Amino acid sequence: MDNSELLSVCVNIDIKTTSLQTVVQQCKELVKPDEKGKYQVDPADVLSVLVSKFLLEKNFDKYIEDKENYPIL
């Protein structure tokens, strides 16, 4: 998919606490701290990329075509 077909949308999602903890831990393991002990990575940005990738790979478009998946309406 071409990036020109993608939009960035700010939304609130519910995830388990353990999922966020896993993202933070993985970030710390993959990006070592700088000389001041700070990590130069934002886990929220990483989570955004992970969720976007998941939605693209798991066919979110097909999921949203099914009206049964709209229980809040």
Residue 3 falls within a domain, yes or no? Answer: no
Q: Name the band, by pLDDT with cuts 50, 70 and 90, for residue 72.
A: confident
- Would you tell me the crossing angle of helices 43-57 and 17-30 to the nearest 10 degrees? 110
Phi/psi at 6 (5° precision): -105, 145
Residue 42 falls within a domain, yes or no? Answer: yes
Residue 25 has pLDDT above 90, yes or no: yes
Residue 47 falls within a domain, yes or no? Answer: yes
Note the pTM of the prediction, 2 decimals: 0.83
**Total structural domains in the chain?**
1
Residue 25 falls within a domain, yes or no? Answer: yes
Say if residues 30 and 54 touch (Cβ distance below 8 Å).
no
Domain range for 39? 14-69
Residue 39 falls within a domain, yes or no? Answer: yes
Residue 62 falls within a domain, yes or no? Answer: yes
Phi/psi at 66 (5° precision): -85, 115
pLDDT 10s digits, 31-51: 999 999 999 999 999 999 999
Q: Name the band, by pLDDT with cuts 50, 70 and 90, for residue 8.
A: very high
Cα angle value 59/61/63 (rounded, 5°):
80
